[in-house]
Amino acid sequence: MKNKRPLLLDIYITFLKIGAFSFGGGYAMIPLIEREVVVNKKWIDKEKIVDIFAVVESLPGAVALNSSAFVGYTIAGIQGAIAAMLGNLTPSVIIVLLLSILISSVGSNPSISAVFNGIRPAIVGLIAYAAYRIGRAAIKDYITVIIMIIAFIGAVFLKIAPIPLIVFGAISGIIVKKIQSKKL
């Protein structure tokens, strides 16, 4: 317990940082979690993090909070999950409380909206890059390329929700591996 304390504090601060800089909700947090947890801290390897995002997508609740809890649990058990969630929530509490109090007196401001007009496309670039990084761990052959394209088309044009797509991925993965093992 005692020698775990620096790790828990480390988890808390890491997720505080991630929370403070993720504009635009859960998906915007993925590139930051990947950079901090996989690249910088090396707490989790790059394939496992993709699998964690996959499980989190199919659970109820906020993607961002669930990812924090899941990653925290993987690193340091229940205490880790709590530390990560608290860290992730801290900036929200401070910033939203301040804004809620301020906005009624100040109102909207054109320079603030200009700053956000610059930030939003950068977030699009960040998320696209996260998909690219995750793809490097996930896309191993032409079959996975096809599954990825089907999922993308299903989400964009047919508006299929993440859970049915993930179920589709699981079933096609099991079938493909079964056929491959029979061939060998």
Partner 1 sequence: MLFNIFLIFAKLSMFCFGGGYVMIPIILEELEKNGWATAAEVIDVVAIAGMSPGPIVANAAVGFGYKIAGVPGVLAALLGITIPCGIIVIVVAKFFLKFYENDKIQSALYGIRAVITGIIFFAAVKLALENGIIGASENLFIKNGYNIFVSSNQLFELKSIIIIVLSFLALLKTKIHPIFIICIAGGVGLFLF
Binding to partner 1 (CB under 8 A) within 86-105 occurs at: 88-89, 91-93, 95-97, 99-100, 103
Place of tokens 């047919």: 158
Shortest Cβ distance from residue 83 to partner 1 (Å)?
12
The number of C-alpha atoms within 13 Å of 55 and in the hemisphere containing its C-beta is 12
Closer Cβ to partner 1, 9 or 96, answer by number: 96
Cα distances (Å, whole numbers) of residue 122 to 28, 50, 71, 115, 180: 10, 22, 25, 11, 41
**Interface characters, 33-62, with partner 1 (x: CB under 8 A):** --x-----------xx-xxxxxxxxxxxxx
* 7 belongs to the binding site for partner 1 (CB under 8 A): no
Helix, strand, or coil (residue 59) = coil
Contact 115, 148 (CB under 8 A): no
**At its nearest, how many Å lie between partner 1 and the CB of residue 132?**
7
Q: Which one among 9, 45, 109, 177 touches partner 1, defined by CB under 8 A?
A: 177
**Residue choice 4, 7, 10, 169 for contact with partner 1 (CB under 8 A):** 169
User: Does residue 4 interact with partner 1 by CB under 8 A?
Assistant: no
Q: How many residues bind partner 1 (CB under 8 A)?
A: 110
128 CB contacts (<8 Å, ≥6 apart)? Answer: none
Tokens of 72: 């925290």
Q: Is 52 helix (H, G, I), strand (E, B) or coil?
A: helix
With beta carbons less than 8 A apart as the criterion, state whether 54 and 166 touch.
Answer: yes
* 79 is a contact residue toward partner 1 (CB under 8 A): no
109: helix, strand or coil: coil
Q: Which of 8, 11, 12, 32 binds partner 1 (CB under 8 A)?
A: 32
Work out whether 172 is an interface residue with partner 1 (CB under 8 A).
Answer: yes
Q: Name which position in 5, 9, 21, 109 contacts partner 1 (CB under 8 A).
A: 21
**Is residue 63 involved in binding partner 1 (CB under 8 A)?**
yes
